[in-house]
């Protein structure tokens, strides 16, 4: 109910925590997936889920909104992916720090050489 009040609308008879959709019809910017395919059974459930959200919220979500929300949940639930992603970020930071240190050294050497050549 607090979630409904925060949205500024009344709770319907059907809305309990278990019946409120995890996906909203109102989501952000989308990018297109080229040639994305889903299993036929999943595609059928996608249509049913759209109907569920429309019944509860009054507006049908785009299929991309549902796919995006599902991927968000997958990424959050996959601890191996989370660990791998953290390792990738750590490596990127280390490489950036090494590049910045090396770049500063080269820049300083270049400036020193250039200054020495000008005098």
- Asked if residue 83 and residue 69 are part of one domain, the reply reads no
pLDDT score at 26:
67
Instruction: Evaluate whether 30 touches 69 at the Cβ level (below 8 Å).
Output: no
Residue 60 included in any domain: yes
- Asked if residue 56 and residue 16 are part of one domain, the reply reads yes
Average pLDDT of span 27-42: 87
pLDDT score at 17:
61
State phi, psi for 29 to the nearest 5 degrees.
Answer: -70, 145
Q: Which domain does 68 fall in, by range?
A: 1-24+36-77
List, for residues 12-31, the tens digit of each pLDDT value.
445 566 777 877 666 677 88
List, for residues 68-88, the tens digit of each pLDDT value.
999 999 999 999 999 999 999
From 74, 64, 62, 66, select the one nearest 21 (Cα to Cα): 66
Residue 8 included in any domain: yes
Distance CA 119, CA 12 (A): 82
pLDDT score at 54:
93
- Asked if residue 51 and residue 90 are part of one domain, the reply reads no
- Return the minimum-mean-pLDDT range out of 13-17, 30-34, 104-108: 104-108
Count the residues in the chain: 119
- Asked if residue 90 and residue 71 are part of one domain, the reply reads no
- Asked if residue 89 and residue 102 are part of one domain, the reply reads yes
pLDDT score at 100:
77
Other beta carbons within 10 Å of 18: 5
Residue 106 included in any domain: yes
Distance CA 107, CA 92 (A): 22
- Asked if residue 110 and residue 92 are part of one domain, the reply reads yes
Residue identified by tokens 């280390």 is: 94
- Asked if residue 86 and residue 66 are part of one domain, the reply reads no
- Asked if residue 71 and residue 15 are part of one domain, the reply reads yes
Output the six-digit token pair for 53: 């959200």
Domain count along the chain: 2
Q: Answer yes or no: pTM beyond 0.85.
A: no
The C-alpha angle with vertex 8 and arms to 6 and 11, in degrees rounded to 5, equals: 90
């Amino acid at each position: 109910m607090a979630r409904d009040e925060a949205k500024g609308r009344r709770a319907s008879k059907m809305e309990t925590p278990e019946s409120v959709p995890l996906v909203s019809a109102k989501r952000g910017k989308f990018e297109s997936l080229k040639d994305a395919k889903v299993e036929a059974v999943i595609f059928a459930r996608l249509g049913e889920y759209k109907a569920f959200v429309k019944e509860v919220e009054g507006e049908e979500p785009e299929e991309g909104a549902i796919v995006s929300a599902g991927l968000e949940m997958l990424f959050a639930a996959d601890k191996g992916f989370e660990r791998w992603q953290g390792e990738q970020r750590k490596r990127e930071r280390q490489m950036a720090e090494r590049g910045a240190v090396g770049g500063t050294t080269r820049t300083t050497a270049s400036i020193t050489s250039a200054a020495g050549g000008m005098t």
